Amino acid sequence: MSSLTVTLIQASLRWENKKANLEMLQRKIESIKEKTEVVILPEMFTTGFSMKPEILAEKMNGETVEWMKKIAAERKIIITGSVIVEVGGKYFNRLIWMLPNGEYGVYDKRHLFAFADEHKHYARGNKKLIASVKGWKINLQVCYDLRFPVWARQSPSLEKEAEYDLLINVANWPDKRRLAWKTLLRARAIENQCFVIGVNRVGEDGNKISYNGDSSIIDPMGEIIYEKNTVEDIFTCTLQKEKVIEIRNQFPFWRDADSFLISES
């Protein structure tokens, strides 16, 4: 069975300041001494959770995507996180999964946070992104997606392997709702019998909203491997796929799952 080494970066983002955030995050990435394979940044890591895409959005050939390509190539890592992107006159809260060779996958946040009017400024996505690395299948999601278990649910089948082994959620999840964040991360791990990684920010944004972090790594039984609150942190951990297979074989709860279909509309 293969291992996968991941690094979580829990940062205090500079409000709507792309230059400062890219410089800060580059310093953090360059400070990683351990050998790592995947580096995970928070949601909207260049701006914070801003509702000004008309001013802040970039094209897919813009500075941030080129920065991700450069960092991934130089460090020989995969780097992921979400940014504000404009495509065809529409704005997306887009997670980018950047490979060391410059190829990438994208996931546009499906569940837009109407409580903060995100749905008035951004277009929703309708397709999952499940990446493949070293035999691992990785489901990639953004913040508010965490509240919708059907979107994360393993597709049940007695004929094939599980849909994914690791769920990654990148977020700007406020401190006042941290109990929901911590609870739902563990629930997604338990119900899908997979590792779950949540990467959140810390600090305060331009709307005076506070973030406590609580970035976490959780195993398929819901046990917390890592959790950090309040402060900035960089944490590297090696996950073993054997753990996922062992738990699914020992407790084959997936066999009793309900069948379902998800509309792309």
The answer to whether the beta carbons of residues 138 and 131 sit under 8 Å apart is: yes
Single out the residue of 175, 115, 113 nearest to residue 146, CA to CA.
Answer: 113
Rounded-to-integer distance, Cα 161 and Cα 88, Å: 37
Q: What sign has the CA pseudo-torsion 109, 25, 173, 16?
A: negative
Domain count, the chain: 1
**Predicted local confidence at residue 258, as pLDDT:** 84
Domain that holds residue 227: 3-256
109 is catalytic: yes
Rounded-to-integer distance, Cα 92 and Cα 119, Å: 10
> Is residue 76 a part of any domain in this protein?
yes
> Is residue 120 a part of any domain in this protein?
yes
> Is residue 264 a part of any domain in this protein?
no
**Predicted local confidence at residue 159, as pLDDT:** 55
Please report, for the domain that includes residue 140, its CATH number: 3.60.110.10
Of 18, 28, 143, 228, the catalytic one is 143
**Predicted local confidence at residue 157, as pLDDT:** 61
Of 16, 37, 43, 163, the catalytic one is 43
Of 18, 28, 109, 228, the catalytic one is 109
> Is residue 263 a part of any domain in this protein?
no
Q: What sign has the CA pseudo-torsion 116, 119, 121, 124?
A: positive
Cβ atoms within 10 Å of 227's Cβ, excluding its own: 15
The answer to whether the beta carbons of residues 184 and 169 sit under 8 Å apart is: no
> Is residue 177 a part of any domain in this protein?
yes
Q: State the distance between the two ends of the chain, measured CA to CA, in whole angstroms.
A: 37
Give the pair of three-digit tokens for residue 25. 């995050």
> Is residue 262 a part of any domain in this protein?
no
43 is catalytic: yes
**Predicted local confidence at residue 77, as pLDDT:** 98
**Predicted local confidence at residue 102, as pLDDT:** 98
**Predicted local confidence at residue 259, as pLDDT:** 80
248 sits in which H/E element = helix 241-250
> Is residue 151 a part of any domain in this protein?
yes
pLDDT digits (tens, 9 = 90+) for 168-184: 999 999 999 999 999 99
> Is residue 29 a part of any domain in this protein?
yes
**Predicted local confidence at residue 253, as pLDDT:** 86
Give the pair of three-digit tokens for residue 187. 């629930």
What does each of the 265 residues of the chain score in pLDDT, given as a tens digit? 699 999 999 999 999 999 999 999 999 999 999 999 999 999 999 999 999 999 999 999 999 999 999 999 999 999 999 999 999 999 999 999 999 999 999 999 999 999 999 999 999 999 999 999 999 999 999 999 999 999 999 876 645 678 999 999 999 999 999 999 999 999 999 999 999 999 999 999 999 999 999 999 999 999 999 999 999 999 999 999 999 999 999 998 877 888 877 776 6
pLDDT digits (tens, 9 = 90+) for 8-58: 999 999 999 999 999 999 999 999 999 999 999 999 999 999 999 999 999
Rounded-to-integer distance, Cα 181 and Cα 97, Å: 23
